[in-house]
Amino acid sequence: MDRLTAAVEAMTRQMAQITDSTRFVLRSNNRLSAGLKTFFKECWFSMSEFVMLEEESEEEVDPEEIDQELEELQKVLEEQEGPVPE
């Protein structure tokens, strides 16, 4: 009878350890899930920005517009700093 009692006590301790381990795994899974949700949200945001940039870059650029913008920027710089040495 003593052996049976000792075996039941040992089994009870092991079941308690299994329960604690299961709780720990569940908490870890919840933390992992929250972290993955955040990660995927940030990745989706980054990917959507990348796609938007890619879509914007598909526009044709007029070289004359670029030349005009460069001239305007150079004028602004000259006004701020004075004449630019060549």
**Local structure of 83: helix, strand or coil:** coil
More confident residue, 8 or 77: 8
* Tens of pLDDT, residues 5-20: 999 999 999 999 999 9
Q: What is the pLDDT of residue 36?
A: 86
Instruction: Give the pLDDT confidence score for residue 77 in this predicted structure.
Output: 78
Backbone φ and ψ of 42, nearest 5° = -65, -40
User: Rg for the chain (alpha carbons), in Å?
Assistant: 34
Give me the mean pLDDT over the 82-86 stretch.
52
Find the mean pLDDT for residues 46-54: 63
Which stretches of 1-86 are DSSP H helices? 2-57, 63-81
What are the residue ranges spanned by the domains of the chain? 1-46
**Measured distance CA(46)–CA(62) in Å, rounded:** 29
**Overall pTM > 0.95:** no
